[in-house]
Amino acid sequence: MKNKIKYRAVLGVLLGAGLALTARSGLAGGHETPYADVANDQEKWWDDAWWDDGQVANVKNYKVVERNVSYLNGDVDVPAVVFRPDDDKKYPAVLFQHGRTGWTDLIQRHARRLAARGFVVLAPDVYAARFIDPRPIEHDYATEGDVNAGLDYLLALPDVSTKRACLYSQTRGGYYTLKVAVTFKRQVDAVGCYVSYYPHWQDPNAPEPEQVYRYAQEADQLTVPVMVFIGEYEQYQRKRSIETAVKAMKDSNHDVTLITYPGVGRGFDFRPRSVRTFADDLAAKDAVARAAGFIRKNLNAYAK
């Protein structure tokens, strides 16, 4: 009996020490990934005007109009939608690329919210262009060229005020736009910045170990400023690759910002009303406003 009591006492001490060590290492919640410290760098979000004087910057809203368009990539006709403020002014260019879900009503709302911040937004539907069903497992490499062709179409529009565009995406769209920037070498002539929500920074056709433990090498070749948004409860394998890539960028002194929103998971920007939470809405509103400021800042240098 005495031995059992001693065993339990020792076990309690060891467990207590282990939990204390885990808490100090930042892993107490069980969902932190190895490079969680790369997110939410204070200098990227700290605001003296708010902290000292209680001032909140005004957010300007624009009424949005949209029109259906199409453009060619070789002999492929790519349908797309142009969202823009309802006036006759010119605005900075943004290419919005949907992810694996496809061009759904919920995703269209996201593109509309971005345009309401004061941008001309082109949103190609690369699945419809090649008769690909929503949520495909395999990645069709030809669709990357369809996105790249959309960049040329967007920058040729008469109501665009910039010589370059910002690439804006979510999930697999983050891989499409990564390839456009790097593989198609559009950072040289057409891309001014890169924004993505929980991007799939790996070739979707790569084997499982690559998906879990590595990120696409193209991320190391990004030269434009980068901003990425994820939720605290993002899928572990996706969160790990994003944080690992961001850490590598930071180690190379690349201009990269990773924002991690507490209390939300995947899809916080478009989760439907039936399952949407207050935290989802706060994160989505902050992200689109923060992205708008980032885009405007980085495209200013490319004004026509």
- What is the percent of the chain where pLDDT is above 90? 81
Whether residue 252 contacts residue 219, with contact meaning beta carbons closer than 8 Å, is answered with no
Rg of the chain, C-alpha, whole Å: 22
Which residue is listed with tokens 């935290």?
279
Going by their DSSP bridges, the two strands 64-73 and 76-85 should be labelled as antiparallel
Q: Look at the pTM and tell me if it is higher than 0.85.
A: yes
pLDDT given for residue 283 in this prediction: 96
Q: What are the Cα distances from residue 6, in Å, to 10, 11, 14, 18, 148?
A: 6, 8, 12, 18, 68
Which residue is listed with tokens 């957010």?
59
Question: What are 140's two structure tokens?
Answer: 């069709």
pLDDT given for residue 118 in this prediction: 97
Whether residue 62 contacts residue 117, with contact meaning beta carbons closer than 8 Å, is answered with yes
* Positions of the chain with pLDDT under 70: 1-34
HSE-CB at 300 with a 13 A cutoff on CA atoms is 6
Question: What are 87's two structure tokens?
Answer: 């006036």
Whether residue 295 contacts residue 119, with contact meaning beta carbons closer than 8 Å, is answered with yes
The topology under which CATH files domain 34-302 is Rossmann fold (3.40.50)
pLDDT given for residue 2 in this prediction: 46
